């Protein structure tokens, strides 16, 4: 809340906390229904923490299944994905109710999609871990169905948020490449 106030931004709330006064949430379906706001803080517990920690030493770009090709192509155009300019792709994951880390299939597939796109743009031989993530993505004939059947997808569907899974798994529908600059993501130029 303090950070949102400091940067004069609206603050997204939890999926179940959406109201007329706070229509923005981490729910993609709720965001589609919410009015436009020029600045929005999305307090993703893992993704935000990873981005903030990495920002001091690296350029940080946000990616998902929705913009994976655009991000991979942008990284390639910037000369990343080579021995001289390596890139780290992090699948942020989720948290179990007890707070322990839970791997997230959607994040693995998103990371794999970015790596596959970067390799198509001339990226050099990836690490074995990156190659496996790319293989997981390219070897999954229907990422949407896979995510919906995975633990996160089932959890969201059972809680009434199946639309969030459908929206989050729309492959390459966005060309925006969000780059972290001065504490906020903005589209790459």
Question: Which residues have CB under 8 Å from 52's CB, separation 6+?
Answer: none
The stretches in the chain having pLDDT less than 70 are none
Domain ranges in the chain with CATH number 3.90.1560.10: 44-176
Find, among 138, 85, 84, the residue nearest to 111 by Cα: 138
Tell me the per-residue pLDDT of 102-137, one tens digit each, with 9 for 90 and over. 889 999 999 999 999 999 998 888 899 999 999 999
Q: What do you get for the CA distance between the two ends of the chain, in Å?
A: 29
Instruction: Compute the mean pLDDT over every residue in the chain, rounded to the nearest whole number.
Output: 93
CATH T-level topology, domain 44-176? putative 2-phosphosulfolactate phosphatase (3.90.1560)
Between CA 52 and CA 124 the distance in angstroms is 27
């Amino acid at each position: 809340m303090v950070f949102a106030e400091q940067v004069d931004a609206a603050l997204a709330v939890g999926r179940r906390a959406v109201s007329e006064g706070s229509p923005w949430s981490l729910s993609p379906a709720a965001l589609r229904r919410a009015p436009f706001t020029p600045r929005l803080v999305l307090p993703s517990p893992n993704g935000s923490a990873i981005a903030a920690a990495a920002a001091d030493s690296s350029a940080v770009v946000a990616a998902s299944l929705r913009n994976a090709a655009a991000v991979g192509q942008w990284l390639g155009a910037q000369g990343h994905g080579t021995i001289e300019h390596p890139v780290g792709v992090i699948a942020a994951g989720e948290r179990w109710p007890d707070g322990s880390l839970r791997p997230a299939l959607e994040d693995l597939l998103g990371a794999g999609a970015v790596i596959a796109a970067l390799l198509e743009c001339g990226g050099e031989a990836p690490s074995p871990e990156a190659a496996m993530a790319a293989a997981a993505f390219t070897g999954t004939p229907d990422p949407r169905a896979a995510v919906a059947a995975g633990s996160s997808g089932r959890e969201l569907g059972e809680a009434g948020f199946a639309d969030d899974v459908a929206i989050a798994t729309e492959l390459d529908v966005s060309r925006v490449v969000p780059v972290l600059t001065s504490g906020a993501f903005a589209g790459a130029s």
